[in-house]
């Protein structure tokens, strides 16, 4: 058994996932402590207002996602696996153009949000606060690309260190501003400050990575830009963007719709329950899914054999680990929640228990998404996401007229999870079709 564990630990993918998970554990622990401080400083009303702002930005922000992050990660990793520097430059060019477009959309939305939130909520302050979130996303763009590069070249320790440092900086600034009585504005400003600082760090770091790994520079990327290649990436990127955007709507779209019907305090309780329910999937699935997004394309680019068997094993182990951590969370969190956050937040236990159960469906989805992306079948996941959102929101709007709104919300969320779990079908078919010959692309 010890020999088997040592062999497993030497597998690069397992070692990198372990590194990410250790870093993720630090992030989750820090974020958990920070959430307690945020709730204590803001109170139920202030935290509810914060939840409304995030529900709004998470929903309307759908229109600013052009798919550049996931598309770049997928195809940059594949090009790196083939050691094709020209292809790396082309995908870098694609990222520069689409990220610029996304930044323009974010700034436009920042300007329009006070008008939109006055129409939706009757309060322009929600839009003004949302503008800080959109501005943070603009300054996040350089750091995102450097994160993609670090993940691709498997500098996982450096990536984990930077991301944890960024999280800790944001938390320290947020707590300092909240302690000064700034309120929700301080919490949102802390994200903006962290984004600006670490994008500057990322730009400096890329010069080192470029020379060490032979990566393209910005002039190389601009020179490599061709309309034929750009539109090819845009085609795949469109479906990745649709799938990613629809996926990111969860759970914000449900909170957004719900926020037009109930008080901000209720939204605050729901958001807290949902955030706590996401902890097991954040700990188990986040690192695995993220690393698989680059590892699977690299393996395909290198023509690795036995891909199908490795993926099946990964899916089984991911599901088992996710179930075990979720079960532990379901037993530990309910008795501790009112003690940690205060008696006023005890009702958050109910959405927590519902969501932690439904989130079990996400274990397979974490591995399915990179497989569908690299096999150019991500449109299937996008269709299912769209259907899940429409059915879920439709059930929420229809059922809240005939039953308690919270019960209608739980039924709508259950329908959403069942529908997106249907990605199991095309992925199984893809793995069955896979040819495992060395040097071929088994998923195309």
| pLDDT score of 175 | 92
Q: Which pLDDT score is estimated for 205?
A: 93
The pLDDT value given to residue 429: 75
CA 283/CA 288 separation, integer angstroms:
9
Provide the residue ranges of all domains of the chain, joining segments of one domain with +: 2-433
Classify burial at 134, counting beta carbons within 10 Å of its beta carbon; exposed 0-12, middle 13-18, buried 19 or more. Answer: buried
Mean model confidence pLDDT for the chain? 80
Q: What is the pLDDT at residue 299?
A: 53
Provide the CB-side half-sphere exposure for 409 (13 A, CA). Answer: 25
For 190-241, what is each residue's pLDDT tens digit?
999 999 999 999 999 998 999 889 899 888 888 887 766 777 777 777 777 6
pLDDT at 195: 95
Q: Rg of the chain over CA atoms, in angstroms?
A: 22
Task: Give the span between the Cα atoms of 158 and 210, in whole angstroms.
Answer: 15
User: In terms of Cα–Cα distance, which of 158, 187, 167 is closest to 53?
Assistant: 187
What confidence score (pLDDT) does residue 102 get? 92
- The burial of 183, by beta-carbon neighbours within 10 Å (0-12 exposed, 13-18 middle, 19 or more buried), is given as middle
Find all residues with CB under 8 Å of 204, minimum gap 6, and list them. Answer: none
pLDDT at 292: 60
Nearest Cα residue to 342 out of 51, 27, 31, 41? 41
> Which residues of the chain fall below pLDDT 50?
1-10, 303-305, 435-444
Spell out the residues 6+ positions from residue 143 whose beta carbon is closer than 8 angstroms to its own. 166, 195, 198, 199, 201, 202
pTM for the model stands at: 0.65
The owner of tokens 């002039």 is 219
Cis ω for the linkage preceding 299 (within 30 of 0): no
- The pLDDT of residue 127 is 93
- The reported pLDDT for the residue numbered 378 is 73
How much is the pLDDT for 105?
Answer: 94
- Distance in angstroms (rounded) separating the CA atoms of residues 47 and 38: 8
Start-to-end C-alpha separation, the chain: 37
> Which among 235, 231, 374 is positioned nearest to 294, based on CA atoms?
374
Q: What angle do CA 94, 193, 203 make, to 5 degrees?
A: 40
Give 408's contacts (C-beta < 8 A, 6+ positions apart): 395, 396, 398, 399, 400
CB 266 within 8 A of CB 49: no
Summarize pLDDT for 55-101 with one digit per residue, the tens. Answer: 889 888 877 877 788 788 878 887 887 888 888 999 899 999 999 99
């Amino acid at each position: 058994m010890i020999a088997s564990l040592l062999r497993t630990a030497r597998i690069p993918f397992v070692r990198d996932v372990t590194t990410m998970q250790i870093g993720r554990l630090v992030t989750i622990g820090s974020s958990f402590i920070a959430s307690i401080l945020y709730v204590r400083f803001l109170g139920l009303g202030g935290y509810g207002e914060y939840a409304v702002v995030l529900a709004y930005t998470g929903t309307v922000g759908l229109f600013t996602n052009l798919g550049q992050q996931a598309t770049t990660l997928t195809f940059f990793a594949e090009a790196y696996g083939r050691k094709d520097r020209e292809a790396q430059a082309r995908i870098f060019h694609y990222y520069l153009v689409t990220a610029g477009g996304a930044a323009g959309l974010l700034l436009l939305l920042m300007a329009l949000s006070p008008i939109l939130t006055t129409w939706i909520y009757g309060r322009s302050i929600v839009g003004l606060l949302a503008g800080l979130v959109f501005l943070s996303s603009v300054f996040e763009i350089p750091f995102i690309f450097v994160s993609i590069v670090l993940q691709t070249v498997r500098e996982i320790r450096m990536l984990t260190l930077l991301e944890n440092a960024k999280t800790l900086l944001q938390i320290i600034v947020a707590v300092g501003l909240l302690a000064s009585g700034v309120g929700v504005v301080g919490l949102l400003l802390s994200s903006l400050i962290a984004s600006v600082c670490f994008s500057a760090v990322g730009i400096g770091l890329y010069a080192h990575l470029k020379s060490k790994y032979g990566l393209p520079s910005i002039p190389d990327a601009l020179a490599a830009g061709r309309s034929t290649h750009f539109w090819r990436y845009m085609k795949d990127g469109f479906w990745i963007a649709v799938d990613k955007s629809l996926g990111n709507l969860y759970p914000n779209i449900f909170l957004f719709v719900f926020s037009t019907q109930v008080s901000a305090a209720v939204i605050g309780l729901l958001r807290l329950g949902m955030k706590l329910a996401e902890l097991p999937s954040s700990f188990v699935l986040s690192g695995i899914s993220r690393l698989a997004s680059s590892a699977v394309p690299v393996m395909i680019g290198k023509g690795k054999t036995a891909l199908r068997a490795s993926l099946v094993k990964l899916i089984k182990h991911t599901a088992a680990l996710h179930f075990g951590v979720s079960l532990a969370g379901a037993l530990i969190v309910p008795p501790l929640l009112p003690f940690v956050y205060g008696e006023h937040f005890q009702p958050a236990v109910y959405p927590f228990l519902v969501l932690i159960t439904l989130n079990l469906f996400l274990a397979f989805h974490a591995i399915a998404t990179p497989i569908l992306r690299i096999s150019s079948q991500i449109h299937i996941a996008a269709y299912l996401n769209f259907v899940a959102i429409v059915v879920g929101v439709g059930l929420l709007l229809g059922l809240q007229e005939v039953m308690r709104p919270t019960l209608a919300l739980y039924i709508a969320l259950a329908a959403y999870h069942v529908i997106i779990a249907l990605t199991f079908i095309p992925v199984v078919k893809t793995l069955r079709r896979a040819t495992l010959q060395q040097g071929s692309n088994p998923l195309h």
